């Protein structure tokens, strides 16, 4: 069907796996790579094109893999490099591309790079991180704040300087103004491309810091209004970050260098995660020629969901900037926000008995938009977000910092369940799991739902089979403006062979498709 020779990633449905919570193979209560391998048929039978696996590198796990201590090895609780090779081989045999989640903005403070850098001002890694003198009064050099609470600067007594961390103090930001840092990540890319991976999801690419001193203070956010939303209760959101801290122009030194490596390997894919004061503008910058192939942002990942007008607005802005291209990926859920089956119920004002129909409608909607689509594990089951994790069972450092007002990201990271009648839903035979199993999820366990004819899993699988045979969806990335009444989202997907009218009715929670 791909008569216009689009690259695979331009129309891909990408299934995101959070490895710690997918499948445990050795009964320690933690998911692992062999566990993923054992469930690849379940993913392939859904009809997706690729998997994206969240970080499994060596790490002290203070931010569960997003604090890397070795980018070219596997954290022992997840397995070995041989386990990864076996996973990759089986995925490719099943027709699945494999994307690895790389974290270039920061590493763990236990990485040998930082352990060396912090020792002195004149060692070989001295300028691999952002080291800055204090103000004359001893305070940090700027007003920058961490996503996870407190200042974005921490004091290092050995160097008598501050170092930058946009997240935990144990996640120091790398200095991408240094060519040696960029080349180190080029070597990391080569390591994984040589093993056969098909692409990278690039974590928080907007938080890479590469601008030189003097660092600029962030401006105040004039639109900030204190309120009940968790984000509004955190000082971080009182600032405009693109004025200094984030989306720095010099980040593109990294994207251009990384892209050159990917291009050397042929049909490889680089998809960046980003956010910003103007996420669409940032996305355009990051996907300019010679940079990333595509990005995805948080415009459809609003913490408490969007109503129909909000969905229309987010889609309209994205299409206005990217129509005719595959340079944008859409997502309604990921490992950082509450699950869409709960979040969007609130945004759309629906009732609990409408949850599965709504989830299927959202899956179809995002799969009909231009570019690629990211599906987070459990969306195909309409799994609910878990809002009742006891504080003493929480694991997410962001949630722990602001509990109980803000529950963090554990609510969407609880383990997948596979069989209602198996111990821990078939995730693990351990006495306890790293996060508690949600008992409500047992009614929608993965293998059980795959056997139920009209489950969300099977209805979506049927839809994806149909999608692959629609020239307007598979041969070009072109669509009309978004139309429709108060409870409708309507648009045409357009190719030389077909014009397909896509109508999503949020009153009846049904989708209809007609060829014009």
Encode pLDDT of 81-99 as tens digits: 999 999 999 999 999 999 9
- The tokens describing 288, both together, are 């300019």
Q: How far apart are CA 59 and CA 191, in angstroms?
A: 18
Residue-level pLDDT at 402: 86
Residue-level pLDDT at 243: 80
Q: Please, what sign has the CA dihedral across residues 347, 353, 357, 363?
A: positive
Helix (H) or strand (E) holding 358: helix 355-368
Residue-level pLDDT at 4: 65
223 to 219, 277, 289, 302: CA distances (angstroms): 12, 11, 33, 16
Q: How far apart are CA 128 and CA 318, in angstroms?
A: 35
Closest alpha carbon to 239 in 140, 337, 145, 336: 145
Burial (CB count <10 Å: 0-12, 13-18, 19+), residue 353: exposed
Contacts of 422 (CB under 8 A, 6+ apart): none
Closest alpha carbon to 42 in 471, 417, 468, 488: 417
Q: How far apart are CA 165 and CA 148, in angstroms?
A: 10
pLDDT at 3 over 60: no
Residue-level pLDDT at 1: 40
- The contacts found for 318-322 with CB under 8 angstroms, 24 or more apart, are 318/280, 318/369, 319/369, 319/370, 319/479, 319/481, 319/482, 319/491, 320/280, 321/280, 321/283, 321/284, 322/283, 322/284, 322/370, 322/371
Strands 499-505 and 510-515: antiparallel
Closest alpha carbon to 412 in 62, 15, 18: 18
What are 404-442's pLDDT values in tens digits? 888 899 999 999 999 999 999 999 999 999 999 999 999
- The tokens describing 272, both together, are 């960046």
pLDDT at 231 over 80: no
CB 54 within 8 A of CB 90: no
H helix intervals, 221-290: 252-264, 279-286
Q: How far apart are CA 305 and CA 347, in angstroms?
A: 4
Contacts of 68 (CB under 8 A, 6+ apart): 55, 57, 58, 59, 103, 107, 108, 111
> How does the average pLDDT of the chain come out, rounded?
95
pLDDT at 227 over 90: no
Closest alpha carbon to 441 in 461, 414, 459, 423: 414
In the chain, the largest separation of any two C-alpha atoms, in whole Å, equals 70
> CA 414 from chain center: how many Å?
16
What are 278-287's pLDDT values in tens digits? 999 999 999 9
Average pLDDT, stretch 296-314? 93
Percent with pLDDT over 90 in the chain: 92
Annotation: CATH topology of 8-107+179-477: TIM Barrel (3.20.20)
Q: 161 has which bridge partners?
A: 156
Q: How far apart are CA 145 and CA 152, in angstroms?
A: 5
391 to 30, 157, 233, 424: CA distances (angstroms): 19, 33, 19, 21
- Specify the residue for token string 């309409």: 382
What are 348-405's pLDDT values in tens digits? 999 999 999 999 999 999 999 999 999 999 999 999 999 899 999 999 999 998 888 8
Catalytic residue annotation = 203, 273
365 to 358, 390, 419: CA distances (angstroms): 10, 34, 28
- The tokens describing 189, both together, are 């890319």
**SS3 for 361?**
helix
- The tokens describing 75, both together, are 């954290």
Residue-level pLDDT at 5: 81
133 band by pLDDT with thresholds 50, 70 and 90: very high
């Amino acid at each position: 069907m791909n008569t216009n020779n689009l690259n695979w990633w331009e129309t891909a449905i990408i299934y995101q796996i959070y490895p710690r919570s997918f499948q445990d193979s050795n009964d320690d209560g933690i998911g692992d790579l062999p566990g993923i391998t054992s469930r690849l048929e379940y993913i392939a039978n859904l009809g997706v094109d690729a998997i994206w696996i969240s970080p499994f590198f060596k790490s002290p796990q203070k931010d569960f893999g997003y604090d890397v201590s070795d980018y070219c090895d596997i954290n022992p609780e997840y397995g070995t490099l041989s386990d990864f090779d076996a996973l990759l081989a089986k995925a490719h045999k099943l027709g699945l591309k494999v994307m690895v989640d790389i974290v270039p903005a920061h590493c763990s403070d236990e990485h040998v790079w930082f352990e060396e850098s912090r020792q002195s001002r004149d060692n070989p890694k001295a300028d691999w991180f952002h080291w800055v003198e204090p103000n004359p009064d001893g305070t940090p050099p700027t007003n920058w704040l961490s996503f996870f609470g407190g200042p974005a600067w921490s004091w290092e007594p050995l160097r008598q300087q501050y170092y930058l961390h946009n997240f935990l103090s144990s996640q120091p930001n790398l200095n991408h103004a240094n060519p040696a840092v960029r080349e180190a990540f080029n070597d990391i890319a080569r390591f994984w491309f040589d093993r056969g991976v098909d692409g990278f999801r690039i974590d928080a690419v907007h938080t890479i810091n590469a601008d030189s001193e003097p660092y600029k203070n962030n401006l105040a956010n004039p639109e900030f209004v204190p309120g009940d939303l968790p984000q509004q209760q955190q000082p971080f959101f009182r600032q405009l970050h693109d004025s200094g801290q984030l989306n720095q122009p010099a980040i593109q030194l990294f994207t251009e260098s990384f892209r050159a490596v990917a291009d050397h390997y042929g049909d490889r894919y680089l998809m960046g995660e980003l956010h910003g004061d103007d996420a669409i503008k940032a996305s355009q910058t990051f996907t300019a020629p010679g940079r990333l192939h595509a990005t995805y942002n948080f415009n459809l990942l609003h913490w408490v969901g969007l109503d129909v007008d909000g969905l229309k607005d987010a889609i309209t802005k994205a299409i206005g900037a990217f129509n005719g291209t595959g340079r944008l990926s859409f997502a309604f859920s990921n490992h950082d926000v509450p699950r869409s089956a709960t979040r969007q119920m609130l945004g759309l004002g629906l009732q609990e008995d409408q949850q599965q129909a709504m989830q299927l409608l959202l899956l179809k909607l995002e799969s009909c938009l231009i570019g690629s689509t990211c599906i987070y594990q459990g969306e195909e089951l309409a799994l609910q977000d878990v809002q009742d994790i006891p504080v003493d069972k929480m694991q997410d450092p962001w949630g722990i910092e602001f509990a109980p007002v803000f529950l963090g990201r554990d609510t969407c990271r609880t383990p997948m369940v596979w069989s209602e009648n198996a111990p821990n839903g078939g995730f693990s035979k351990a006495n306890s799991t790293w996060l508690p199993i949600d008992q409500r999820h047992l009614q929608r366990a993965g293998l059980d739902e795959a056997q139920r004819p009209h489950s969300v899993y099977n209805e979506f699988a049927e839809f994806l089979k149909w999608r692959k045979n629609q020239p307007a969806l598979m041969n070009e990335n072109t669509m009309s403006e978004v139309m429709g009444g108060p409870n409708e989202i309507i648009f045409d997907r357009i190719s030389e062979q077909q014009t397909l009218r896509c109508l999503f009715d949020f009153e009846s929670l049904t989708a209809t498709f007609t060829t014009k």
